Amino acid sequence: MPVLQFPENFVWGVATSAYQIEGAWDEDGRSPSHWDTFAHTPGKTRNGENGDVACDHYHRWPEDIALMASLGIQAYRFSVSWPRILPTGGRKVNEAGLDYYDKLVDGLLERGIRPFITLYHWELPQTLQELGGWPAREVVDHFVALADVVSRRLGDRVKDWITHNEPWCTSMLSHQIGLHAPGWQNWLAALRAAHHVLLSHGLAMPVIRANAPQAEVGIAPNYEPAYPLTRTEADLNAARIWDGYYIRWFNDPLFGRHYPADMVAYYEAQGYLPDGLDFVQANDMATIATPVDFIGVNNYTRQIMSGEISLDQFQTAANPNPNASYTEMNWEVYPNGLYDILNRLHFDYQAPKIYITENGCSYSDGPSSGSRIADTRRIEYFQSYLAGIHKAIGNGVPVAGYFVWSFMDNFEWSLGYSQRFGIVYVDYETQQRLPKDSAFWYGDVIRQNRLEIE
Ligand code: IFM
């Protein structure tokens, strides 16, 4: 049985986000976010489901982090809910909201769990949405205020900070495809949003570092690499466009390469940038390229691209791979995709340090006999991706840690509660938590700092 030993000090964690688990959407001074508005709009989410209650983590966090500790989890990546802390943006703090995260951080540290904070995992106060949301440059200053308020309060104890989760989702999925809040379908708005997300990241980093001198700060883009179906020019071109749209548009500016010229030309030719990059102001690109301490990699699957590409027709698995297995999101299990991305981030972009900030799979296995949940496919998924990570580390890629998405089943955005990504099962009727087999398996991996592959 091959045994893959991980480096000493490798960080083993789990991840969640506020709106997906907290619930308590209108308690203790929290105002609505644009996701509350979206999810409360008929037709936007599966079965009209929303995050009003979710996993009720706002009230149950002590038991949740006790469970993490009992499994041996070393680090917990969670996000703060902006409208809980600054209900109308700006700097007017809702103390009860900030206190909540203060207690959570203390509770984690008491149990020896290292907190990794994500500042923005898609919850914009509705008031800021009404000011124009991410396509409006004004939002950037509001985000920097959030970074300042949170890092001033928690920076004495929290060392690891992530500015944004998945800028592609905040911009494209939300403003061009329209599947996420605010549900727009407007290319220019999406590209403006992308720029403001990146700019706000660059401006927030020195603020966090000033408030928390020990801090390491990064960002967690989603990486879904594209592979051509065949070696024909059309398929190669389709893969290049997907890569530009999904990866390079975000990664290139972060690493000082400006927006990729081929994609600017493509977007202009399509009429998506009628006035070019007029929303980019002097110094913006240098600010965005402020060196990060680490890059967070969110990776689940890949795309196989072919022929004439239309980025308006959003499809998962446009070219299904007959030899692969798929999760219940219809996402191909493709561990080589993560391996390739890790090598690329190291050898091409020269990322200083990498955390896998999300990796996981949706399978609906629930309790069958008694309380046991035999989610064997999830264990196999993790084994295959971790083997790829281990191989990349062997190539010299500086991967410092791994976060399972997700600690527990939760609200999967427009898909409501239909997708279960957790290593802990949540019975939404009773809010009972049941660790799945994968949770115990993960605990063993952590304890031994190694992976045994059967
Ligand atoms: O649930 C999401 C998470 O919020 C962001 N990354 C992908 C996950 C699964 O879709």
CA of 2 from ligand 1 middle (Å) equals 31
Pocket lining for ligand 1, CB < 6 angstroms: 17, 20, 166, 298, 358, 405, 412, 421
| Residue with CA nearest ligand 1 atom 9 | 412
Set 123, 166, 224, 412: catalytic member: 166
With 0-12 / 13-18 / 19 or more C-beta atoms within 10 angstroms meaning exposed / middle / buried, residue 419 is buried
Measuring CA to CA, which residue among 170, 171, 168, 209 is closest to residue 192? 171
Which structure tokens are listed for 195? 């720029």
| Residue with CA nearest ligand 1 atom 4 | 17
Counting from 1 in the atom list of ligand 1, the atom nearest the Cα of 362 is: 9
Rounded to whole angstroms, what are the CA distances from 101 to 3, 55, 96, 153?
38, 17, 9, 9
CA gap 189, 376 in Å, rounded: 42
pLDDT recorded at residue 266: 97
Query: Which residue matches tokens 């000082």?
Result: 256
CA of 1 from ligand 1 middle (Å) equals 32
CA of 412 from ligand 1 middle (Å) equals 7
Counting from 1 in the atom list of ligand 1, the atom nearest the Cα of 358 is: 6
CA 36 to chain centre: 19
Tell me, yes or no, if 166 is annotated catalytic: yes
Counting from 1 in the atom list of ligand 1, the atom nearest the Cα of 360 is: 9
pLDDT recorded at residue 309: 84
Set 22, 123, 358, 412: catalytic member: 358
| Residue with CA nearest ligand 1 atom 1 | 412
CA of 184 from ligand 1 middle (Å) equals 19
Counting from 1 in the atom list of ligand 1, the atom nearest the Cα of 17 is: 4
CA gap 360, 271 in Å, rounded: 37
pLDDT recorded at residue 278: 98
CA of 112 from ligand 1 middle (Å) equals 26
Ligand 1 mutation target, pool 406, 410, 411, 419, most atoms within 8 A of CB = 406
Counting from 1 in the atom list of ligand 1, the atom nearest the Cα of 169 is: 5
Which structure tokens are listed for 362? 């949706």
pLDDT recorded at residue 201: 99
Per domain, the residue ranges of the chain are 3-452
CA of 99 from ligand 1 middle (Å) equals 26
pLDDT recorded at residue 315: 75
Q: In the chain, which stretches have pLDDT less than 70?
A: none
pLDDT recorded at residue 312: 85
For the domain made up of 3-452, the CATH class stated in words is alpha beta
pLDDT recorded at residue 297: 99
- Using an 8 Å Cβ cutoff, are 424 and 434 in contact? yes
pLDDT recorded at residue 454: 75
pTM of the shown model: 0.98
